[in-house]
Structure 1
Amino acid sequence: MVPGSIGQDVVEASIAKVNQIKLFADDSGFLFRLALVESKFGENPQTFADQTNKSPNIWSIDSQKFRETKDIQKHPELLQLYYDLADKYDIDWQRLDIYDMQRPLYSALASKMFLHLNGQPIPETIDDQAQYWKQHYTAIGDGNVDADTFVQEVHKLEDLYECSPHISLCYVLDGSGSIGSSDFQLAKQFLYNVTDKISSENGQFCLVLFSSDAQTIYDFTVTDKTKRLNKIKDLIQPDMSTNTRAGIQKTVDIMETSINQVPYKTMFVLTDGYSDDGVQPAVSNAQKAHIKSWVWGIGDGVKDKELNEIAYNIPDNVKQLTKYSSMDSYLYEFKKTLCDEIIHLIDGQKFDDTSVQNEKRYFSIDLPKTGAISLTIQLTNGNTLGYYAYSTPNPSSAVNDGQLDTNPYNIPGQQQHSQVYVTIVGQGPNNVYSITPTYI
């Protein structure tokens, strides 16, 4: 909300606020990519040096785009949007002017509104989004705009992102005959790309392939990433029926028999259809084993009811894509989902961690009924930054209630909140540290 604020943290916090109110359709990561390509999250000096722009901002909301968000005669549906914004965020959009777009949240909302009013659905793939950006958003009417710029900038940032989550993760891949051989290759490539950028420093991984039955491609004993990548590359499609239940149950068995238990267990189911004989009791067994479940359904053959059943009826853990080639567009989002898992700490528990530069680790700690929390960061290598917040699950430089600028740091208790959220950001190329909360 501070005029002129810039940076990726500001962009991500603004988008989170926009998505939280659920007024607009999913944009397949387009709003994030717009901020990157239009202004490098506001950090491109040219964004604010352009004297012809009355209100330079992260999303390049100019007078033309802003007028569209105010034209009730042309877009009568705006009245309902105004009402919803006033109700959810106490924003009176009709009273805003172009200079308010310097507030990142407002320019993010204006960008979403402009795209919504355009009436053209936002494509899923990065290449198609680049063409959409060229035709409907940037320098509208300028035939000299190069869509390749969009693709290059997006891949430069998203492909390189990697992290090392504390997670036991199993991919559950559909290899049934209804998937074309080219689509199966796209699914393999997606898993290869994810595996290549998710470090096994703090986690363990397995892959189950299912068709008429299920087979373990690799389990937690395969700790070498190169071996896992080669096994994905060598995958052969079974090309038979769809026994999703067997794939999920095989995953439960791997998780339950693992000797080295990483506490945060997750399965990711990727399927193009629905199982021949349902998914129970495997899904119930997974839920009882406290395995978090994500599912992607691809194509028009999926059953909404079954996807929701696999995800324990948690809508945010279900994604439907129109085609396998769309998966690449969600690679960055998927990696972030895995790496942004919140780790719960308890009083006196020492948690050891390693991270790369700018990697963020998210924690939650129950607040004592009286007193405060003393948080000790013990560094072995590198350096860290830290933030805390009482109501924001992923505090950052953009949204926080305080910065951890001393060690140990005392976080005050709050009667209206039962827990506090903490983010630790790695500052060096290789950061080794421990974090210990103590009630005082």
Structure 2
Amino acid sequence: MFQKVGLAFLLYNLVPVVRTQSVDLTLVPDASGEDVVDASIAKIEALNVFPNDFGLLKRIALVETNFGIDVVNKMGGIWQITPNISSQLSDPSVLLSLNQYLTPASIEFGTNITDLSNNPNFRIPLTSALAARLYVQLLAGTSVPASLDQQANWWNTYYNLTGNAQGFQERVIAYENATG
């Protein structure tokens, strides 16, 4: 018995232990995947300042980039923030109107994530997600489209003008059928 305990003690104390650090992928440029999208959205929802988006933010990430896996414009990140969206969100009067959302986000996430007027890094998933959510808030306010049909039309009218509302719906339905 002593030998087993002594050996275990020696192994525990002499064998180097590999320690791992967890990395918050919502803050890692070019991180992708459904887990990263879900974590980014969860952080934004935890602020408790935005109205329900009825899954729109996740659906946009799915349709725009397949959760960051099929990114065309790396600078736009998972949510493909376009120069048009970015310039609207960096307008001082728009920033002022979104202050009730930006202030809690700045406190929680820091200004490096929430400074949308000073060359934001949309390759960081949380920054891309926050910009997309702020843009939805700016244009939809408390009238965020709830149904898939309404979301597809909103996305095609305001978010991706070259997109196709029917294609949005088909992509979301295929994903939701596959994942249950």
Q: Shorter-normalised TM-score: what interval?
A: 0.7 to 0.9
Aligned to 1:233: none
Q: How far apart, CA to CA, are the structure 2 residues paired with 1:83 and 1:14?
A: 17
Change (3 A) 1:90 1:97: same
1:105 Cα shift? 0.5
1:107 Cα shift? 0.5
Aligned to 2:68: 42
Higher relative contact order (CA 8 A, sep 6+): 2
**How many percent of aligned residue pairs carry the same amino acid?**
30
Match of residue 56, structure 1, among 67, 70, 76? 76
Aligned to 2:127: 106
1:88 Cα shift? 2.4
1:147 Cα shift? 0.7
Q: How far apart, CA to CA, are the structure 1 residues paired with 2:70 and 2:157?
A: 22
Please tell me whether the aligned partners of residues 63 and 98 of structure 1 are also in contact (alpha carbons under 8 angstroms): no
CA RMSD of aligned residues (A): 2.0
Change (3 A) 1:45 1:129: closer
Pair 1:14-2:32 in alignment: no
Aligned to 2:154: 132
1:23 Cα shift? 1.8
Aligned to 2:88: 68
1:59-118 deviations in whole A, cap 9, x for unaligned?
A: 011221112222222453233333222222223533764451110001000000011111
Q: How far apart, CA to CA, are the structure 2 residues paired with 1:91 and 1:16?
A: 19
Q: Which runs of 5+ in 1 are unaligned?
A: 49-54, 163-440
Alignment length, in residue pairs? 152
- 2:138 is matched by which residue type in structure 1? L
Match of residue 82, structure 1, among 96, 102, 110? 102
Runs of at least 4 residues of structure 1 off by over 4 A?
Answer: none
Change (3 A) 1:137 1:73: same
Higher helix share: 2
Aligned to 2:179: 161
For normalisation by structure 1, the TM-score amounts to: 0.33
Match of residue 3, structure 1, among 22, 29, 42? 29
Change (3 A) 1:95 1:109: closer
Aligned to 2:21: none
Match of residue 30, structure 1, among 56, 60, 67? 56
Q: How far apart, CA to CA, are the structure 1 residues paired with 2:134 and 2:37?
A: 16
Higher strand share: 1
Q: How far apart, CA to CA, are the structure 2 residues paired with 1:39 and 1:11?
A: 11
Change (3 A) 1:148 1:119: closer
1:235-384 equivalent positions in 2, closer than 5 A: none
Q: Which runs of 5+ in 2 are unaligned?
A: 1-26
Aligned to 2:166: 148
